[in-house]
A and B are shown apart, each in its own frame.
Chain A
Amino acid sequence: MAELTMAKALNLALHEAMAEDPTVLLLGQDVGQDEGVFRISEGLLKKFGADRVIDFPVAESAIAGVSVGMCLTGFKPIAEMQFSGFGYHAFHQVENHISRFRNRTRGRFTCPMVIRMPYGAGIRAIEHHSESREAIWAHLPGLKVVVPSGPRNARALLRASIFDPDPVMFYEPKACYRAFKEEVPDEPETMEIGKAQVVRTGSDVTIISYGASMRPVLEAADDLSLEHQVEADVIDLLSLSPMDTETIIASVKKTGRVVVVHEAPRTCGPAGEIIARIVEKALDFLEAPIARVTGYDLVMPYFNLERHYMPDPLKVVTAVRDVVSY
């Protein structure tokens, strides 16, 4: 076991997958010589050469669309969008081709590819570099949306995404790239896409979150336990599409109280879907209205104000206390 940051863990998963399968390719702006602006692709060009680690012109639609053609000829491309804020250029290729090829060709052509994008705030980046727009992608049928929260699950989920037979949008919480380390097993590890994890157990309240928001949520859960004698069941979704309803419902039936936390804007955000599922399947178990701690329906403030926009431990603790005392 080695202690790795998420950046290193992702790099490890890329090394492993590329060594294991010669059809795995990485393409994107600055992924080769520069080893990625976040160094996620460190050492890959040297090891696998320019045919497999491709420094691509700045053209996100092309990065996505060319990957489709590579899939059709038997490759498994990993397309990197340098920041999710530039991934919108690729939106129509994802919607019109990547997510549809399997269905429209009735399985004759598929897109077993991964699109990696760093998302979210918290690193004092400039404009257009801090948004959380995972809901946009999770709305697209035929596409999976995976959001890791820590080094170990990032490595295991990236591996699962690369070898998944369907296209996966892999949303990387860049605030977590170097924020902390975790023990990561020496052997390649895989997690099933679409399964959530209960990362802390308690019977007073269920807190559901994913990605970068897991950090404030876990901090809040510690605080709630120590200061307020409230024990939270904390669910890390890990995948927004497909989403693990079963784990959510089992927890809600146990606690009867729910707080959903994410950085994305509230309206039509993932919390809305999570709450809808709870209402459909566990309404009778609810003891209180469900609370949402989310970003506001605002253009992401520039970094001087971003911390006020984002969920933080205090906002989570406050919401949980309201729900528990209802």
Chain B
Amino acid sequence: MPRKQIELSNRVEYLNILDLEGNADAALDPKLDANELRKLFRAMLLARRYDERMLKLQRQGRIGTYGPALGQEAASLGPAYVLGKDDWMAPSFREPAGMLYRGWPMEKLILWWGGNETGSSTPTGVNDTPICVPVSSQCLYAAGIAWGCKLKGGKNVALGFVGDGGTSEGDFHEALNVAGAFQLPLVIVIQNNHWAISLPRQKQSAAQTLAQKAIAYGMNGLQVDGNDILAMVAATREAVEHARSGKGPMLIEAVTYRMGVHTTADDPKKYRTEEEVACWQPKDPLERFWKYLAKKKVMDEKAREALEAELAEQITAAVAKAEAYEPDITEPFRHSLAEMPPTLKEQFAEFQAYMDSSSRPDNGSAPSAHDPLMSRLH
């Protein structure tokens, strides 16, 4: 009757390729060519500048509450970069770098944060689900997509993002459990940015790593320096290939940091120190990657300046396009169900009559005290 250590067949490793000075480990470097490197830098820089512009737009009251992704560009972009066009991506809400790279027009993201559902309508030709707000619930449909891909017999995979906070939700565990049990081609990337609004990572889970949660579901977990784009590309490439070749799901924990606010509605000064934030500054994924590119002479300052100007223009154009958008007030009625049932048709007619009525306050003539209806009511 022994009591002994159980040998687990799954493992957890840590991967980092790029140091803080932009030197890559030659053995681990995914060795992307100059074009690929420039493409990655462009996408990361675009996401950074987009993010900065969005914060300004929020402060100016031109969009609603915004959840910045400052500092998490590599963790979002790396996975998106390695996916094939026909693979699927299920983002949470801090993946603009990946979404923009996958082909989401920027104005759609601006429209989404500006309170327009058209920002949720995945563009034709893009196999992504829209931004998902209820944390970790997207892991389940990502698993379902992976299941669908497997049933179709193709080689496509699904990749889902979740935050460190989301790993506490049941849906995260249910998704990993079925993905393991049914060997689904699913990759889940945890963007561990250390804070779920005000709850620190240590209080989210006593687990030493979040990647090790994979083991419970019979898969490998890999913890990655999430601010290292080369490591994110290498790690997700391995996971996607693993899933694509029928070997089942994989879990990746991208260790990153939320440099800004959770959303523009909160004040992180209430729960974390500026020293802590400062510690992460040298790990900035964008500047670290820039150092690497400069050392490799893939890009010089002049090329960067030209790129900066080009991207600023692109962002300005996207903002203008989004702000010119006029929502169709009838759309919610038309897309509730495939066909409006009679009850909804009736409500739609009531709504239209109200919108057309000349006594509606914003139609120019506010109801006056002399209005016969008003006098009846008083």
Contacts and interface: CB of A to CB of B under 8 A. Distances in A.
Given A57-B177, A92-B134, A108-B122, A66 B140 contact: yes
Interface in A256-312: none
A72 B141 CA distance: 9
A141 B333 CA distance: 10
B148 A102 contact: no
A192 to B, nearest CB: 11
Interface string A100-123: 001111111110000000000000
B229 to A, nearest CB: 28
B336 A141 contact: yes
Contacts of B338: 102, 110, 164-166
Contacts of A71: 144
Contacts of A61: 140, 170-171, 174
B122 A65 contact: no
Interface stretch (B113-121, B264-272, B301-309, B363-371): B113-121
Contacts, number: 135
Nearest to A141: B336
A72 B341 contact: no
Nearest to B174: A62
B129 interface: yes
Contacts of B181: 57
B140 A109 contact: no
B204 interface: no
A73 interface: yes
B174 A65 contact: yes
B336 A96 contact: no
Is chain B's interface secondary structure helix, strand, loop, or mixed overall? Answer: helix
Contacts of B129: 72, 109
A157 to B, nearest CB: 15
B337 A144 contact: yes
A188 B268 CA distance: 61
Contact of A69 (B121, B124, B143): B143
A62 B140 contact: yes
A187 interface: no
A70 B152 CA distance: 10
Given A67-B144, A108-B124, 15 more contacts: A57-B174, A57-B181, A61-B140, A61-B170, A65-B144, A65-B175, A73-B148, A75-B151, A102-B337, A103-B336, A105-B122, A110-B338, A144-B337, A165-B337, A165-B338
15 contacts: A56-B178, A62-B143, A62-B178, A64-B140, A69-B143, A73-B88, A93-B171, A96-B134, A97-B141, A104-B120, A104-B130, A106-B121, A108-B121, A194-B342, A245-B342
Interface of B: 88, 117-118, 120-122, 124, 129-130, 134, 137, 139-149, 151-152, 158, 170-171, 174-175, 177-178, 181, 331-332, 335-338, 341-344
Interface of A: 25, 51, 56-57, 59, 61-62, 64-75, 92-93, 96-97, 102-110, 141-142, 144, 164-166, 194, 242-246
